[in-house]
Amino acid sequence: MEEKKFDELLVDIEKIVKDLESGNIDLETSIEKYSEAMKMIKICSDKLNTATESVNKILDENGNLSDFQVSD
């Protein structure tokens, strides 16, 4: 599978969900589409985790990445 952006994956997942909900596809195709969607969901989850980790890091004064901490 080519590397797609997060938003593109969401569009693809939504299309698969609509296809599955329509009930107009056979069982084998439904299983294939479900498996494909689950792979895309895993990729989205990984992308979100990576983004979360990036947001939680901040460059310190020396240009080094460090954990972001809110001071009271």
* Alpha carbons 1 and 9: distance in angstroms, whole number: 11
User: Quick count: other Cβ atoms within 10 Å of Cβ 49?
Assistant: 10
Whole-number CA gyration radius for the chain: 19
Which pTM does this prediction carry?
Answer: 0.74
Percent above pLDDT 90 for the chain = 65
- Work out the end-to-end distance of the chain between its first and last CA atoms, rounded to an integer number of angstroms: 46
In terms of pLDDT, which residue wins out, 60 or 12? 12
